[in-house]
Chain A
Amino acid sequence: MRKPFKILIPLAFWLLVWEAAALAVGRELLLPSPAAVGGRLLALAGTAGFWLSVGATLGRVFLGLFWGALAGTLLAFATHFFPWADRLISPAIRVVRATPVVSFILLVYLWVARSAIPWVIAGLMVLPVVWGSLRAGLDSLDEKLLEFARVYRFSRRKTLGLVYLPALRPHFEAGLLTAFGLAWKSGVAAEVLCPPAYAVGSRIQQAKLGLETPDLFAWTLAIVALSLILEGLLRKALERGDRG
């Protein structure tokens, strides 16, 4: 089957299911039709506020992704190389990984400014994933290659560039792709619970409070579409990096 049909046929099927369910329910407040949601999404996309909110949310998610990935990487190296750091930090990271995101949002709300909460939360969700992925990579690194680098008089910098980084790259990429989805979801969840001035999460919260169900669906649809597009772009960028 050709690629467009592989996408279009399942999409058409689920739109039909949605339409049928909306007709069966018969109340827009509970379940608006795809046409009503699509119309609202188009109308919203024509306003500056929509793009301002989308841009601000994207900025927060990427800021969270950046600091979470950076901290996860540094801590993975620290906990791999220094036993005292492993004993001290690894259990704390495992606690962060096991803690529900909602608990963190409410806790962080007490400590940082409201506008900073989404990117702090997104980073906190990213950190353990990138850390775990890189730790697995570091722990499974071929000792024989490291011995080779020592015997062939590679400097530390050369060993890092020619042995560690290429060997860890697949682990980092897998962790980053998983973490991206988490950053996106947790960042928007934080925006819903602690709404900043411009944010997709704040608009979802407003739609819910105003019982504007088509708007709620339209914003959710926008989030899903953005998440899929950005994940696809990230995957392509990583693949291009692998080939280059």
Chain B
Amino acid sequence: MIELRDITVRYGEKLVLDRFSLAIPLGGITALSGPSGCGKTTLLRVASGLTEPGSGAVSGIDSRKIAFLFQEDRLLPWRTVSQHITDVLPKSRRGEAARWLAFAELEGEGGAYPPALSGGMARRLALARCAALGGELLLLDEPFAGVDQERTVRLLDRLRGLGVPIVMATHQPQVLAACDAVIALDGPPLRRV
């Protein structure tokens, strides 16, 4: 269980989290749902330790190894699709690149560079890279943005098959329907509904 207690985050004048508390179960796939801009991304960033809150505390992560998928793809324009995978794999696991390309259904695109990919392909590559990095917890920010519905279902199944707890921010109804737990949110400032 990730516990966030009395978290406050402010971006300039904008109060995104105001003494916000939440317990996120760690088992299967948990979705944080809510409209765009309500503060889901900030919540994930605080939970992962990427954003330092103004006040409050986070517990339950401890020394757990986290793989984080950013809201943006953050691909390197000068690296090929295959290299994006091998870049995050340790030398002993370099042979797994093909497996992760298949995970993202990008088998034929190994030599392509990001500018040549569609939005959906780039998102799948970013997701495969995050999954390939591995960890004891996956925190995913809008993992299926721009991905078609059929692929989204298949990718969700593959993510479940990894056997690690997943917490994802999403507002796609078909994704929410397939998650083990859904935490409905609204904001800003962020609140549970």
Total interface residues on A, using CB and 8 Å? 13
The stretch of B34-42, B53-61, B74-82, B93-101 in contact with A is B74-82
Residues on B facing A (Cβ under 8 Å): 48, 50, 68, 70, 72, 74, 76, 78-79, 87-88, 129, 133
A163 to B48, CA, bound (A): 23
Given A152-B88, A152-B133: A147 and B50 interface contact (C-beta under 8 Å):
yes
**B residues less than 8 Å from A221 (CB atoms):** none
A144: CB under 8 A from chain B? yes
From 143 to 182 in chain A, residues with beta carbon under 8 angstroms from any chain B beta carbon are 144-145, 147-148, 151-154, 158, 162-163, 166-167
The 9 closest A-B pairs by CB, nearest first: A166-B78, A148-B74, A151-B68, A152-B88, A144-B74, A152-B133, A145-B74, A162-B87, A144-B72
Report the minimal beta-carbon distance from A139 to chain B, rounded to whole angstroms. 19
A-B contact pairs, 6 of them (CB 8 A): A144-B74, A151-B50, A152-B133, A162-B76, A162-B79, A162-B87
Dominant secondary structure of chain A at its interface with chain B? helix
Q: In the complex the two chains form, what is the Cα distance from A166 to B78 in whole Å?
A: 7
Per the bound structure, the CA–CA distance linking A200 and B58 in Å amounts to 71
In the bound complex, CA of A148 to CA of B130 (Å): 11
B69's nearest neighbour on chain A, judged by CB, is A151
Chain B: CB-nearest residue to A144? B74
Query: Is the pair B70, A144 in contact by a Cβ cutoff of 8 Å?
Result: yes
- CB neighbours (8 Å) of A151 from chain B are 48, 50, 68, 70
Closest to A165 in B: B78
